[in-house]
């Protein structure tokens, strides 16, 4: 009987994950085998015929047990891809998710409509977590600067590290505060993916989210709108005239967040959908003073 190869290990792990009801069984298996063998995920395809030695097999089993126990792959690896970049995670950060790229796309589309891609814009990322949104925008806006806020010290440390490693650290300033409370204003863009889950929805969340994402980044009061209330109340003070805000929302929160923005005096409020066709981002502009 021939020795098991890396490709064999991926297939075996995929079957185990499928039997456990793990949705992304193929991708998860490939990522974990790549991690255990010290290869990039694409390397598993190129070097699939490489023998899985005892040390690698033991490491694969260790990682597989963590995944089967409900730990997300991003937490196991300690990193997650977003906007073509790798962001390190910490216990105090959410994993950046593909749906949030809808917010980055919406903000950049606004900048392009205004012809400001090369302008020295000042943006704020409220509740920055890993820094993914701010760093993604800075990677596309070469003269922009970002102020990124978070209450969690560990999140700010992680965000600073990500910004520095990804080449925008000199334009990224982290501030410990609750959303925009300690900021003074004058922002061209404000972006945020705040907590938006109601406390009563905890048991409806997947095990991966419920047990491994930080509560501070998930829950926002009984109805999930507390963070939006805090953010929208500060927007007239924080945004410069004609400045714009982009907020990620839960798919059933478009109407409620629209009302909060309109109550704060913002104009041109629009709800945008993600690739799945669900409401994902609410955008608005500050009325000229």
User: What number is the average pLDDT over the span 16-22?
Assistant: 96
pLDDT at 165: 99
Answer yes or no: are the C-beta atoms of 179 and 230 closer than 8 Å: yes
Residues above pLDDT 90, as percent of the chain: 91
Mean pLDDT for all residues in the chain: 96
Q: Using the predicted structure, report yes or no on whether residue 150 has a pLDDT greater than 70.
A: yes
d(CA 34, CA 16): 17
Residues above pLDDT 70, as percent of the chain: 99
User: What number is the average pLDDT over the span 59-85?
Assistant: 97
Classify residue 209 by burial, with Cβ atoms within 10 Å: 0-12, 13-18, 19+: middle
pLDDT band at 45 (very low <50, low <70, confident <90, very high): confident
User: What number is the average pLDDT over the span 45-64?
Assistant: 94
pLDDT band at 2 (very low <50, low <70, confident <90, very high): low
Residue ranges of domains in the chain: 6-77, 83-285
Strand-by-strand arrangement of the 122-126 sheet: 172-176, 145-150, 122-126, 187-192, 239-248, 279-285, 267-273
CA angle at 132 for the pair 127 and 133, rounded to the nearest 5°: 70
pLDDT tens by residue, 172-217: 999 999 999 999 999 999 999 999 999 989 889 888 999 999 999 9
- The CATH class for the domain spanning 83-285 reads alpha beta
pLDDT tens by residue, 95-118: 999 999 999 999 999 999 999 999
Q: Using the predicted structure, report yes or no on whether residue 239 has a pLDDT greater than 90.
A: yes
Answer yes or no: are the C-beta atoms of 175 and 134 closer than 8 Å: no
pLDDT band at 287 (very low <50, low <70, confident <90, very high): confident
pLDDT at 275: 87
pLDDT band at 3 (very low <50, low <70, confident <90, very high): confident
Q: Using the predicted structure, report yes or no on whether residue 1 has a pLDDT greater than 70.
A: no
6-77 — its CATH code?
A: 1.10.8.10
């Amino acid at each position: 009987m021939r020795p098991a190869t890396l490709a064999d290990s991926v297939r075996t792990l995929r079957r185990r994950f499928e039997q456990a009801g793990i949705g992304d069984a193929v991708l998860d298996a490939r990522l974990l085998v790549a991690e255990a063998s010290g290869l990039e995920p694409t390397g598993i395809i190129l070097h699939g015929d490489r023998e899985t030695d005892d040390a690698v097999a033991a490491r694969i089993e260790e990682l597989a047990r963590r995944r089967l126990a409900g730990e997300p792959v991003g937490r196991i690896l300690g990193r997650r891809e977003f906007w073509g970049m790798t962001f390190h995670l910490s216990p105090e950060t959410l994993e950046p998710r593909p749906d949030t790229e809808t917010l980055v796309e919406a903000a950049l589309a606004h900048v392009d409509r205004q012809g400001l891609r090369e302008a020295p814009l000042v943006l704020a990322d409220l509740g920055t977590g890993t820094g993914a949104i701010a760093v993604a925008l800075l990677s596309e806006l070469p003269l922009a600067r970002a102020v990124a806020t978070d209450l969690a010290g560990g999140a700010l440390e992680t965000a600073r590290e990500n910004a520095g490693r990804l080449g925008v650290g000199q334009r990224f300033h982290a501030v410990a505060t609750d959303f925009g409370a300690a900021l003074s204003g004058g922002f061209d863009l404000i972006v945020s993916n705040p907590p938006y889950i109601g406390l009563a929805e905890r048991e409806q969340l997947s095990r991966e989210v419920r047990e491994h994402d930080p509560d501070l980044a998930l829950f926002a009061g009984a109805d999930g709108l507390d963070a939006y209330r805090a953010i929208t109340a500060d927007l007239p003070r924080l945004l410069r005239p004609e400045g714009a805000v982009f907020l990620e929302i839960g798919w059933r929160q478009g109407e409620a967040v629209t009302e909060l923005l309109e109550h704060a005096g913002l104009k041109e409020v629009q709800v945008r959908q993600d690739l799945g066709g669900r409401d994902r981002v609410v955008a608005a502009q500050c009325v000229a003073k």
